């Protein structure tokens, strides 16, 4: 860990050596690189030597493919899949552990080679992937120099922070606590938003419009899809054009396909201008009355610094939507979910003065903390985290063992059945003086028993625990009886495979999606109940049980009872005699 210590020069102090700072960014949109450029400008003013690299170009092929290329495809075609992926890897602790492990395995060695070739005094990351890798290297003691990370989002998810990072530079007070939950108390400081200095320079709206050749009167709405031009840009432009006399500027970034499509779609609309990538963001934001954004990225910081109202619309699922919600929750913007809501929000905001800049100002630029960063001993914090993790690991193991025993052992099932009302069916509404007769007999005895029952005008369900031949099934059906899948009693837990075997058996017997199955007299588990229920199986058990070679049960069958007759490999005459007694 490191502690940022402000250097206070004195008249007699020797000149401080120039510090070399390595900034690691990433080409995922334009935001991370924009932050890197802003930091570079600040650090040069602090007389630092700055080296900027795209981290994704130095970590092999796997990480860029998963982090950048797949992400770009998801934003254009399958945004919902990125929402699931982002939630799993960022919000779900096991998924986050998988993500950090993958980044460390595939990225630590190649990134370490880059760091050693540059030989910096301080490292700054502007991207969560690079943050995880350098945090891993710092925590293992491979890196001895201080490592810092910028957090440019308001909706801070845990992957923005890492326990091995010495200091996280955040843009708002609300971002401090989420970072400290991951990296420890004192690991985050609020800094001035990392945007280019031109955004902090006062610029009159009318002067900016005149310089850009835009109408000086009437509302001007800026619609931004970020560096990759993502989101529902066409719907946003249409919603903004509903404002009377409004001029709409839409920025598509490097997305040439979206740029051409929107130019064609709004070719006959003189109040709409479609732009690609531009270096005039400071002037465009200064000229606007409101900014509509989809990615909730650095464009929001730039607009808030300029004091412009911001409205989120069409944000893709994942961290962009989290960020948009966080900004709206802080009262620094609005979140419109439909075109009608967007038009209403724009109507409200173009006539109101934003107060967001007061909430975004910070006392100092990030550069002063970067050049003053010094390593500090984080062993006490790591020791506390290790103790917490050991306790959590012990609880997790105990929970898993208890859950496994509850599902796989027959002992807790009676208790769980009473608590959760998971008892098998033992009665059925079959009318007065009738019972449900289930015969569990070897396959060679079934035809004789079925024929005997038919001669007496009785019917039964025959429990079949193994695959039955088609001739036998046809014969059972010809006697008017029904087959019933039976769950065999096994010594070892086999509840994981119960669902598949019962489903296959039910299909072979011609049963529907919902069916009954006979449970064993002993050894039935909660796991078997749950897994069988997921495939449509409903457990059936004996209210009265007759078994060959054993005394008759004390309880007499009552109307509606499920009566199970279990026959071993005895002679047909003995089996028929037991059936006759039943």
pLDDT winner (highest mean) among 249-253, 358-362, 388-392, 428-432: 249-253
| Contact in structure between 332 and 359 (CB atoms under 8 Å) | yes
Whole-number Å distance between alpha carbons of 284 and 353: 17
Whole-number Å distance between alpha carbons of 541 and 560: 13
Q: Nearest Cα to 149, choosing from 168, 136, 170?
A: 168
Whole-number Å distance between alpha carbons of 129 and 401: 34
pLDDT digits (tens, 9 = 90+) for 280-290: 999 999 999 99
Instruction: Return the structure tokens found at 412.
Output: 């807790």
pLDDT exceeds cutoff 90 at 128: yes
Q: What are the distances in angstroms from CA 406 to CA 401, 403, 526?
A: 9, 5, 7
Cα dihedral 207/212/215/220 (nearest 10): -90
Pairing outcome for strands 20-25 and 49-54: parallel
| Contact in structure between 136 and 162 (CB atoms under 8 Å) | yes
The sheet with strand 272-275 has its strands ordered as 272-275, 247-251, 220-224, 290-293, 310-313, 334-336
Give the residue-averaged pLDDT of 287-315: 90
pLDDT digits (tens, 9 = 90+) for 533-547: 888 888 888 888 888
pLDDT band at 357 (very low <50, low <70, confident <90, very high): very low
The SS3 call for residue 87 is: helix
Which pLDDT score is estimated for 127?
93
Whole-number Å distance between alpha carbons of 463 and 533: 18
Look at 403 and 12; give whichever has higher pLDDT. Answer: 403
pLDDT band at 355 (very low <50, low <70, confident <90, very high): very low
Cα dihedral 456/460/464/467 (nearest 10): 70
Whole-number Å distance between alpha carbons of 335 and 300: 13
pLDDT band at 552 (very low <50, low <70, confident <90, very high): confident
The SS3 call for residue 77 is: coil
Radius of gyration, CA atoms only, the chain: 35
pLDDT band at 500 (very low <50, low <70, confident <90, very high): confident
Which pLDDT score is estimated for 211?
93
Cα dihedral 170/173/179/184 (nearest 10): 110
Which pLDDT score is estimated for 182?
92
pLDDT exceeds cutoff 50 at 176: yes
The SS3 call for residue 290 is: strand
Which pLDDT score is estimated for 389?
67
Instruction: Return the structure tokens found at 473.
Output: 């099934």
Whole-number Å distance between alpha carbons of 31 and 536: 50
Sign of CA dihedral 158, 164, 169, 175: positive
pLDDT exceeds cutoff 90 at 464: no
Give the residue-averaged pLDDT of 238-242: 93
Pairing outcome for strands 436-440 and 515-518: unpaired
Give the residue-averaged pLDDT of 219-247: 91
Give the residue-averaged pLDDT of 196-215: 92
Which spans in 12-148 are helix H?
A: 31-45, 62-64, 70-76, 79-86, 93-118, 128-139
pLDDT exceeds cutoff 50 at 125: yes
In the chain, what is the greatest distance between 2 CA atoms, to the nearest angstrom? 117
pLDDT exceeds cutoff 60 at 492: no
Whole-number Å distance between alpha carbons of 43 and 366: 9
- Residue 560, burial from CB neighbour count under 10 angstroms (0-12, 13-18, 19+): middle
Neighbour tally for 200: CB within 10 Å: 16
């Amino acid at each position: 860990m490191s502690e940022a210590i402000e250097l206070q020069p004195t008249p007699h102090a020797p000149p401080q050596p120039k510090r070399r700072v390595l900034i690691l960014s990433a080409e995922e949109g334009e935001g991370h690189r924009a932050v890197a450029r802003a930091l570079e400008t600040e650090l040069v003013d602090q007389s630092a030597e700055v080296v900027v690299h795209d981290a994704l170009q130095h970590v092999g092929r796997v990480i860029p493919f998963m982090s950048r290329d797949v992400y770009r495809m998801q934003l254009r075609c399958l945004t919902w899949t990125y929402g699931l992926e982002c939630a799993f890897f960022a919000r779900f602790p096991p998924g986050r552990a998988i993500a950090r492990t993958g980044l460390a395995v595939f990225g630590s060695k190649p990134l370490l080679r880059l760091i050693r070739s540059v030989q910096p005094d301080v490292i700054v990351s502007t991207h969560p992937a690079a943050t995880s890798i350098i945090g891993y290297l710092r925590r293992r003691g491979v890196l001895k120099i201080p490592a810092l990370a910028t957090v440019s989002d308001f909706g801070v998810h845990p992957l923005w922070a890492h326990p091995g990072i010495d200091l996280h530079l955040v843009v708002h007070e609300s971002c401090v606590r989420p970072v400290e939950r991951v990296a420890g108390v004192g690991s985050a400081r609020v800094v001035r938003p990392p945007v280019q200095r031109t955004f902090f320079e006062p610029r009159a709206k009318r002067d900016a419009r005149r310089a850009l050749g835009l109408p000086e009167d009437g509302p001007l709405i800026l619609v931004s899809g970020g560096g990759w031009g993502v989101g529902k840009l066409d719907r946003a432009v249409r919603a903004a054009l509903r404002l009377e006399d409004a001029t709409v500027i839409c920025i598509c970034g490097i997305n040439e396909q979206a740029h051409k499509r929107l130019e064609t779609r709004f070719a006959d609309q003189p109040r709409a201008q479609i732009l690609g990538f531009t270096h005039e963001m400071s002037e465009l934001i200064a000229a606007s009355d409101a900014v509509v954004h989809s990615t909730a990225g650095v464009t929001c910081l730039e607009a808030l610094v300029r004091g412009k109202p911001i409205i989120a619309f069409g944000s893709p699922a994942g961290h962009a939507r989290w960020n948009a919600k966080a900004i709206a929750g802080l009262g620094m913007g609005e979140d419109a979910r439909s075109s009608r809501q967007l038009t209403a929000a724009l109507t409200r905001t173009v006539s109101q003065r934003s107060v967001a800049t007061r909430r975004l100002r910070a006392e100092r630029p990030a550069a002063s903390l970067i050049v003053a960063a010094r390593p500090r001993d984080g062993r006490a914090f790591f020791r506390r985290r290790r103790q917490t993790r050991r306790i959590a690991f012990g609880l997790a193991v105990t929970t898993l063992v208890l859950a496994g025993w509850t599902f796989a052992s027959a002992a807790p099932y009676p208790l769980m059945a009473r608590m959760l009302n998971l008892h098998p069916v033992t009665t059925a509404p079959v009318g007065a003086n009738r019972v449900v007769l289930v015969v569990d007999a070897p396959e060679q005895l079934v035809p004789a028993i079925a024929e005997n029952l038919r001669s007496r005008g009785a019917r039964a369900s025959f429990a079949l625990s193994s695959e039955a031949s088609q001739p036998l099934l046809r014969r059972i059906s010809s006697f008017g009886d029904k087959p019933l899948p039976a769950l065999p009693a096994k010594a070892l837990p086999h509840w994981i495979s119960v669902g598949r075997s019962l489903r296959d058996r039910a299909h072979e017997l011609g049963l529907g999606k919902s069916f009954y199955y006979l449970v064993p007299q002993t050894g039935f588990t909660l796991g078997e109940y749950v897994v069988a229920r997921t495939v449509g199986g409903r457990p059936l058990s004996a209210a009265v049980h007759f078994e060959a070679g054993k005394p008759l049960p004390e309880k007499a069958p009552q109307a509606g009872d499920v009566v199970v007759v279990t026959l071993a490999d005895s002679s047909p005459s003995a089996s028929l005699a037991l059936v006759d007694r039943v």
